[in-house]
Amino acid sequence: MKVCIAEKPSVAKDIAQVLGATQRKDGYYEGNGYQVTWTFGHFCTLKEPHDYTVQWKSWRLENLPMIPPSFGIKLIENEGVKKQFKVIERLVAACEEVINCGDAGQEGELIQRWVLLKAKCNVPVKRLWISSLTENAIREGFQKLKDSEKYNNLYAAGSARAIGDWLLGMNATRLFTKKFAQQKTVLSIGRVQTPTLAMLVQRQKEINAFLSEEYWELKTIYRDTEFTATIDRIKAEDKAEKGLKYLEGFPFTITSFEKKEGKEGNPRLFDLTALQVEANKKYGYSAEDTLKYVQNLYEKKYVTYPRVDTTYLSEDLHPKIPGILQSMTYYHQLTEPVLAKPIPKSKTVFDDTKVTDHHAIIPTEILPSGLHVKEEKKVYDLIARRFIAVFYPECKVSNTTVLGKAGQVAFKATGKQILEPGWKVVYANDTKKDNEEEKLMPVFTEGESGPHEPKVHKGKTTPPKPYTEATLLRAMETAGKQVEDEEMREMLKDNGIGRPSTRANIIETLFRRKYIEKKKKNLFATQTGMDLIDTIQNELLKSPELTGDWERKLRMIEKGDYEPALFKEELIKMVTDLIQEVKSGNFKPISIAVTGETAASPPKEKKAKPEIQIDTLNCPKCNTHKLIKGNSAYGCSNYKVCGFKLPFSLYGRILTANQMNELINKGMTRKLKGLVTENGVLQDGKIRFDESFHTVIA
């Protein structure tokens, strides 16, 4: 008898039907020489600290670091898990061969290997490795079963990842919690979670520190076309007005007219991150929700395996593409032009060197029916249209650049036209919107001259944009680097932080821990998140680039190019050094932020009396200019010269308007309770200004 172990009951049922194992038993299917059973996700986990020694049950600084001599696994404490595991254990003990039918990825391999290890499997093991759950894919997969040993490196990488997360997570979480937490707060630290939070905090600080400045630009209208002066932005209105008067004294002359035809390359097929980014941008879906929708589509056999990080197809898929396109009858108007010609075997789509375990996410030949969940329909539509679009011609455009001058001031105008939409036909509504936004420019002649309408445009500098889930996912994928070019992003994926399948969970963990919050589509760090990152001095722990280096090593383990033991040794050294460093550190205690409490929007204390408007007061330092309200502080409206800034939150307290009024007008607040000193000590005291107008506790 051969025992097949799938990762879910629904997948086991599909496999059993293909194999002819039609007899339903308690916890498995049987028939035709096969027994098909299942797990339901993780059955085993690494042992907890107290499983190694009773003294590790208590959270004490003196017990750190916790480094087990060897790592063990145990069953998850769940009655359903225990019951199903007994079924697997009994079947494995009596069979002649096991076929690992787990999810065909690193996490799936780890889940199955741990179960087989716990079940003391000592019979040969084969591996079913498929990219979709259609009947044809399952049948083909069983005809080409692999030896389990082929995936030993994949298991080694999964195991090293789990051990690394345990070493850092268990030790650092206890370390920071016992050293810095108050009010029974648990400060969660993670190998991927912490650098992700650090990126959000850094962006938050840039936004908070930003002071908007006014600027003026010179523009002019010539032949119904708006030109902008190519000089630097003007910082003073009177200079802009002088510039305007100067321009009024000269005609406008065209110095250059250049029209170039170009191409806009086809979009890439989706990997999981790109799909999550697109779904967030277009529909506002969270990364976790998009993963759930596409996983459901995969299990319904409508799309291929989704937890992938490549945007390419393997070359052996090329002959199957026409059949998939023909099956997509809902999109026949879009597929007909593609099927009218042979499908090109372009290297931007088909490249074996860019595909490891799985290819990009594409539709299967199974036509979706009964898709009642509208979100799943929309995600399927994204995948389907992207799949069709890659086989269309490139989009041809015309880019126009016009240079001119009035007197000695140079001007520039640009425009774009779509000449042949190519792949943009697949996105008809989006293309229509693009066409409406295009600037259709007249033809100009070099040397022509005439009257124009100069004007002054007043603007304000804007702060950096907050992260959305889409931009955060891209930042995680590229270890914090801002990369637009798709080829460059592909090159940086080996150094991204987290894996495509885990990034959504990391973001959700930050929400659950109240380290970040969402306002509309934007993500903000809470005060707790900011305090935590400020407390962490170890750059390795919070640097996206350095954490990306660990991810690169894990991928090298997967390829057999790096030793798991060496990776473990490096993490043990890092954890040991971190503990020694933090034990001697001194920072203020950290408590969990109330939901909605971000540095960008501090909570207001309720007042019986109306609050004083601080931005009606004069700056206490220069006593000339008014105060203005920023995201996290009040500042002098002449900040660049004066430099005065007063944060909303001082020494662990968010000051009320009345307290700020006292400080600004009298130079000192009344006595306040529970102030937190720079050394993390709680004390009562008054906040006052020193001679440089910095705050101190009196």
Q: Tell me the mean pLDDT in the region 230-242.
A: 95
Task: Go through 616-650 and write b for each residue having 16 or more CB atoms within 10 A of its CB, e for each that does not.
Answer: eeebbbeeebebbebbbbbbbbbbeebebbbbbbb
Domains of the chain: 2-144 (3.40.50.140), 168-209+471-583 (1.10.460.10), 214-266+395-460 (2.70.20.10), 272-389 (1.10.290.10), 614-697 (no CATH)
| pLDDT at 435 (0 to 100) | 53
Q: Looking at residues 658-677, what average pLDDT do you find?
A: 81
Alpha helices in 193-285 (DSSP H): 193-209, 237-248, 272-283
Length of the chain: 698
- Phi, psi angle pair for 633, to nearest 5°: -160, 160
The pLDDT assigned to 372 comes to 83
Q: Tell me what pLDDT residue 428 has.
A: 82
pLDDT at 600: 38
The three-state secondary structure class of 524 is strand
Amino acid in position 382? L
**pLDDT of 61 above 70:** yes
Q: What is the mean pLDDT of residues 37-42?
A: 90
668 burial level (CB within 10 Å; 0-12, 13-18, 19+): middle
In this prediction, residues 59-65 reach a mean pLDDT of 93
Span 577-628, pLDDT tens digits: 999 888 877 666 666 554 443 443 333 333 334 446 776 788 888 777 788 8
Q: What is the pLDDT of residue 214?
A: 94
pLDDT band at 134 (very low <50, low <70, confident <90, very high): very high
pLDDT at 72: 96
Question: pLDDT tens digit string along 182-192?
Answer: 767 788 999 89
The pLDDT value given to residue 434: 53
More confident position, 395 or 634: 395
Compute the average pLDDT of residues 112-126.
Answer: 97
Find out whether 270 and 360 touch, Cβ atoms under 8 Å: yes
Is pLDDT of 108 > 70?
A: yes
Query: 331 an active-site residue?
Result: no
What per-residue confidence (pLDDT) applies to 681?
A: 58
In the prediction, which pLDDT does 597 show?
39
Q: What is the mean pLDDT of residues 387-395?
A: 96
221 vs 495, more confident: 221
- Is the model's pLDDT at 431 over the cut of 70? no
Q: How much is the pLDDT for 492?
A: 64
CA distances from 26 to 9, 84, 121, 471, 675 (A): 12, 9, 21, 47, 63
Q: Which position among 285, 298, 302, 305 bears the catalytic label?
A: 305
Read off the pLDDT of residues 437-473 as tens digits, 9 standing for 90 and up.
566 789 999 999 999 999 999 999 999 999 999 999 9
Tell me the pLDDT of the chain averaged across its residues.
88
Averaged over 270-297, what is the pLDDT? 95
Averaged pLDDT for residues 659-679: 79
- 630 pLDDT band, cuts 50/70/90, is confident
Angle between helices 193-209 and 500-512 (to 10 degrees): 60
Q: Is the pLDDT of residue 691 over 70?
A: yes
Q: Look up residue 618 and give its DSSP letter.
A: B
Q: Which of 208-212, 426-430, 536-540, 667-671 has the highest mean pLDDT?
A: 208-212
Confidence of residue 172 (pLDDT cuts 50, 70, 90): very high
Percent of the chain at pLDDT > 90 equals: 64
| pLDDT value at residue 248 | 95
What integer is the mean pLDDT of 527-553?
86
pLDDT confidence bin for 357, thresholds 50/70/90: confident
**Region of residue 170 (left: phi > 0; alpha: psi -120 to 50; beta: else):** alpha
pTM exceeds 0.85 for this model: no
Which residue in 637, 678, 645 sits closest to 664, CA to CA? Answer: 645
Residue 95 has pLDDT above 90, yes or no: yes
Closest residue by Cα to residue 14 from 141, 131, 142, 138: 138
Q: Please say if the pLDDT value at position 507 is more than 70.
A: yes
| pLDDT, average across residues 415-426 | 93
The pLDDT of residue 487 is: 65
Residue 159: pLDDT over 90? yes
pLDDT of residue 596: 41
CB 498 within 8 A of CB 551: yes
Q: State yes or no: pLDDT of 321 exceeds 70.
A: yes
